[in-house]
Structure 1
């Protein structure tokens, strides 16, 4: 009972922070995902150190420099929107990221006791796995500027709605997969990675999430976003979100841990909460760029 109460309180607090940060304005949206990126990166590097203990031998310059690079890349994705005088956060981010990504390998060669290219690879993979997807969400929110007032209103609405829908569809897919799997799940999906997942639950969650998105989008959401986009985003969330969940489960199994972190009691860490989003976001960004922001 105590565990249930803890999980419930944590979940409500988490939802309130997410909705507040995403909906209040573009500044809070950026700050929210900037912080998520920072803590998720730290959890990723912790998993890598458990998977390959040799990664503990990287120099302090490398250890902290890659976190700075990740934060700088997030700043770069904000574009020209947040300015201080003649400089924007985006411009500062691009310059800082460029410098650190170029200098990090040199610093590792000079300062590391046991230099190997795989250390650079682990760090770059972390930036690709965590920072770039979250940066693309920021780009959807603030990266599209339009000329006329009506276009600005339209793009502003899409910038808020699309990331929100993507997260919501991931949640529906996970919830429906759990319910269907509990009721009729019999066939293991990837037993070596996630023993509790079943094919019936995974497929059922996808179908119900896509169906719910299509029905709601067609009858009630079409004025906000053309209803086929609801189906497309739900499909992306269901397929690639499930892949993201399996990917993080694989990393945790290799590291020998149950959760990526303990910052959210009863719910694990940042990677545990956003693993599906990290894989789904790039595909959503591509779809939005090709079919929505055109």
Structure 2
């Protein structure tokens, strides 16, 4: 399993970098949409939908929402005079509120599970709130400052990926070597408090290193490090939320398309929370 996981990662990491750095803006948006739709197909299984035609129906619903956002916010017009469009900000305000609710659902699980686990509608809405803002967040980051530097947004996405990946790596090694206290045993029995803290510390160290190598003013390192800790904490919530839905659905993995990793959702679960929260912070810093 570990060998498969490593081999798959060695393939996925270069593909992710090619997508982020070398893909034209429009094609990046289309590829991000395709990833979100694949995630929607897997989410439909978490909803308890078994028939393929019904699962594709949910994918179509998510696709329509993404298409409407693409029509309303073309990827090259999300930023005006260095500021994110106000109505696009509303999406991220809603997303932030959703992840606060998700945090409560995860922490209190299974206490409130009857409120969302018995019907398709609540689980379907949860999927929309999880996946659609991810697509918009990736487009917002990729298109940031695009007229001055076509690669600026690529480095923003790299920063988000770095926070998520460093938090995952730090959580894994700290949890494996020092983990004694369960974090959310009813949601994900293998995660520990020590691993969680190690992940937050690793994310902060990554961002400080990122700032150093990119010549960012040292007076801002503490602020950016604190933001990284918050983003990493929400990335853990994204992971735990998917684990909670998988537990309710009786599934170990969201899919089987990535050997050693499971499905698409198993790879982007942390990013579904981290990317929108990162956008909230980045858009805020642009107003200062």
Residues 30, 193 of structure 1: alpha-carbon distance in 2 compared, 3 angstrom cutoff: same
What is the rounded CA distance, in whole Å, between the counterparts of 2:217 and 2:37 in structure 1? 32
Return the match for 1:21 from 19, 22, 28: 19
| 2:29 aligned counterpart, secondary structure | helix
For residue 285 of structure 1, what is the aligned residue in structure 2?
Answer: 279
Alignment of 1:128-167 (within 5 A): 128-142=129-143, 144=144, 152-154=147-149, 156-167=150-161
What is the rounded CA distance, in whole Å, between the counterparts of 1:181 and 1:212 in structure 2? 18
Return the match for 1:219 from 212, 227, 235: 212
Higher relative contact order (CA 8 A, sep 6+): 2
| 1:195 aligned counterpart, secondary structure | strand
Give the alignment's TM-score, normalised by structure 1. 0.73
For residue 30 of structure 1, what is the aligned residue in structure 2?
Answer: 29
* Deviation digits for residues 241-276 of structure 1 (CA, Å, limit 9, x no counterpart): 111111111111111111001110111111100101
Deviation at 1:184, TM superposition (A): 1.1
What is the rounded CA distance, in whole Å, between the counterparts of 1:221 and 1:240 in structure 2? 25
The alignment status of 1:66 with 2:61, answered yes or no, reads: yes
The alignment status of 1:257 with 2:240, answered yes or no, reads: no
Deviation at 1:139, TM superposition (A): 1.8
Q: Which residues of structure 2 form unaligned runs of 5+? A: 78-118
* Deviation digits for residues 29-52 of structure 1 (CA, Å, limit 9, x no counterpart): 2233111101001111111016xx
What is the rounded CA distance, in whole Å, between the counterparts of 1:258 and 1:42 in structure 2? 16
Alignment check: 8 A CA contact 1:166 1:233 kept = no
| 1:49 aligned counterpart, secondary structure | coil
The alignment status of 1:244 with 2:230, answered yes or no, reads: no
Alignment of 1:106-125 (within 5 A): 119-125=120-126
Q: Which residues of structure 1 form unaligned runs of 5+? A: 83-117, 147-151
The alignment status of 1:186 with 2:186, answered yes or no, reads: no
The alignment status of 1:201 with 2:199, answered yes or no, reads: no
Matched residue count:
245
Task: Give the root-mean-square deviation of aligned CA atoms.
Answer: 2.9
Alignment check: 8 A CA contact 2:141 2:279 kept = yes
The alignment status of 1:79 with 2:80, answered yes or no, reads: no
Residues 132, 71 of structure 1: alpha-carbon distance in 2 compared, 3 angstrom cutoff: same
Give the alignment's TM-score, normalised by structure 2. 0.74
What is the rounded CA distance, in whole Å, between the counterparts of 2:272 and 2:72 in structure 1? 15
* Deviation digits for residues 51-81 of structure 1 (CA, Å, limit 9, x no counterpart): xx8xx69978954541431441463475163
Residues 73, 281 of structure 1: alpha-carbon distance in 2 compared, 3 angstrom cutoff: farther
For residue 90 of structure 2, what is the aligned residue in structure 1?
Answer: none
What is the rounded CA distance, in whole Å, between the counterparts of 1:291 and 1:69 in structure 2? 32
Return the match for 2:270 from 251, 273, 276: 276
| 2:129 aligned counterpart, secondary structure | helix
Rg (Cα) greater in structure: 1
